[in-house]
Chains A and B, each alone.
Chain A
Amino acid sequence: MKKPALERPVLLDVQDITRLYGPGKGCEEIDFRLHAGEVLGIVGESGSGKSTLLRVLSGLEAPDAGRVIYRRLSNEPEAARQVNEPEAARQVNEPEAARQVNEPEAARSGQHVVDDDEATSDFDLDLYAIGEARRRALLRLEWGLVHQNPRDGLRMGVSAGANIGERLMAQGQRHYGRLRETGQEWMRQVELDPGRIDDAPRTFSGGMQQRLQIARTLVTRPRLVFMDEPTGGLDVSVQARLLDMLRTLVRQLGLSVVLVTHDLAVARLLAHRLLVMRRGRVVETGLTDQILDDPQHAYTQLLVSSVLTP
């Protein structure tokens, strides 16, 4: 029997991120790697800095210090660059020069990535060095963000179909019939009635809205998805169905996910690996079962033992 291939490429290389709003408010010196196909859970109490960290990771808020490197595979075209092809956009985009200047810097810190032999490649994107145009395009087209409150992630004024189609239209899809087909396919995928494609999201229940938000986010098949308490605020029965759906989608689409949750049961069922945060810092990391069944840090032990059924 041959040795199994256990190496997985690093997708997101988070290097010493600090973002503080005040002393102890925010996150400090966060350093980890997300590997392709991994679901990484960030757990901790409210105020532990996990939401701040998610904002920094997902490109919404620049860190005070540290870098977020998105490592793209060399054979992938960058959707974010394709979309801004028109001539004039180039001027708004970060000049090529800035990108090139930035690259050697990334290479220098290659030793940072100790758990992976892969050298920093030309395809790496330093999230906060690439300029706002490419960053926003990246977030819109290659990444996805699922908000806790579906209202924050949906356009409540337009139909379910328009919600699902928006990212595709942003990518330049201009065929109404196909947009609609794709919309209906995705509604089936997230267990919504495709017959309701023209209904406004406000006529949907909370759980249905959340599934619609997930369809809207995943329609462009992002490689990396950030989820902020995706099952928060839902009834327990609805939660279970959503959890199962998320697991299936992660497997079928080969998604890599950063999941913020305070619910250890959700973390147990969805996450492969956990980061435990407290007062803005990571106190413990490891396999999900390991964190929950054999916690090492005093705080993790307290957290795990405080839950009714972790």
Chain B
Amino acid sequence: MNGYNFAYLDEQTKRMIRRALLKAVAIPGYQVPFGGREMPMPYGWGTGGVQVTASILGADDILKVIDQGADDTTNAVSIRHFFQRVAGVETTTSTATADVIQTRHRIPETPLRNGQILVFQVPIPEPLRFIEPSEQETRMMHALEEYGVMHVKLYEDIARYGHIATTYAYPVKVDGRYVMDPSPIPKFDNPKLDGNPALMLFGAGREKRLYAIPPYTRVESLDFEDHPFEVQTWEHTCALCGSDHSYLDEVITDDKGGRMFVCSDTDYCQTRRGEVA
């Protein structure tokens, strides 16, 4: 598209972001500040993820964008169109064929492979923020590994609900060192963070922070010995593909209480139906 640099951002900005990303990869889970730019979309719509994607995208890359697992929701469609226009890259809905996948709130069900990059959109990058409003203090707490308060939050969950009620943005410890907010993915997806062959990058546009989990990195979900980390399970199977092991969305079908459970990962569901059919 005329008038714009490839993938919208100028090369200086991309270089700056790449430098920050290199640092983030070098220190897994550590939040690296970067000079976030104004993007032609409001904060909260994935400006952090878009800047990361713009900085790493090559002309030959195939891009996939999902929102809550779906390729066809507004946010996913508009970001996909954005990169089609400003970078002219090929796009796909297939997890397996994509080189770069930008995501909001999910990790695809199809196992990722080495060489793929998953870019997360992050609203609040700081896992300690709920208890400590001062940025200076949270950075100090990370530096000194003062992570006792993270368990205070989990303790409080059990005290209040009888179990750890945190179901998304469930805090993890990366490579035995930094406690990290995995973005608001369901805790169902947390095990996929551990030892994943793909590179995972996280971008927070409003807070101007980047962080990363390099391929094959140890990622543990915080828990208690007598209340170990567990993922959600469903009594149902996917109404469309019959999957009994994927993350399901509840869909209300009428005004009379009718509802069904379907895979939140649309590509996965369709692929299975293709296979099943």
Interface residues of A, Cβ cutoff 8 Å to B: 83-84, 86-89, 92, 132-133, 136-137, 140, 155, 157-159, 161-162, 165-167, 169-171, 174-177, 179-180, 197-198
Contact = CB atoms under 8 A, between A and B. Distances in A.
Contacts of B149: 166, 169-170
A255 to B, nearest CB: 22
B56 interface: no
A169 B144 contact: no
A132 B145 CA distance: 12
Nearest to B154: A176
Contact of B159 (A87, A92, A198): A198
A162 B146 contact: no
B144 A89 contact: yes
6 contacts: A140-B146, A162-B156, A169-B152, A170-B149, A171-B148, A174-B223
Nearest to B158: A176
A88 B148 contact: no
B148 A159 contact: no
Contacts of A133: 143-144
B227 A176 contact: yes
B255 interface: no
Contacts of B224: 174-176
Contact of A158 (B140, B156, B223, B227): B156
A166 B145 contact: no
A50 to B, nearest CB: 26
Contacts of B177: 86-89
A162 B144 contact: no
Interface string B120-164: 000000000001000000001001111111011101101110000
Given A175-B224, A177-B226, A170 B156 contact: no
B254 interface: no
A169 B146 contact: no
B44 interface: no
Report, nearest first, the 10 A-B pairs whose CB atoms are least far apart. A170-B148, A169-B151, A88-B177, A176-B224, A169-B148, A175-B225, A133-B144, A162-B155, A158-B156, A198-B159
Contact of B226 (A86, A140, A176): A176
B176 interface: yes
Contacts of A84: 144-145
Given A155-B152, A174-B223, A174-B224, 7 more contacts: A89-B145, A158-B155, A161-B155, A162-B159, A166-B152, A170-B149, A175-B224
A163 B223 CA distance: 18
Nearest to A88: B177
Contacts of B225: 174-176
A87 B224 CA distance: 22
Contacts of B159: 159, 161-162, 180, 197-198
Contacts of B176: 86-88
A87 B176 CA distance: 9
A162 B226 contact: no
Given A175-B224, A175-B225, A132 B144 contact: yes
Nearest to B173: A86
Nearest to A132: B144
Contacts of A165: 152, 155
A253 to B, nearest CB: 21
A309 B4 CA distance: 82
A179 B144 contact: no
A170 to B, nearest CB: 3
A198 B160 contact: yes
A170 B146 contact: yes
Nearest to B145: A89
Contacts of A176: 155, 158, 224-227
A136 B160 contact: no
A169 B155 CA distance: 9
Given A169-B152, A175-B224, A155 B131 contact: yes
B146 A159 contact: no
Contact of B144 (A137, A167, A175, A177): A137
A125 to B, nearest CB: 16
Contacts of A197: 159
A114 B131 CA distance: 46
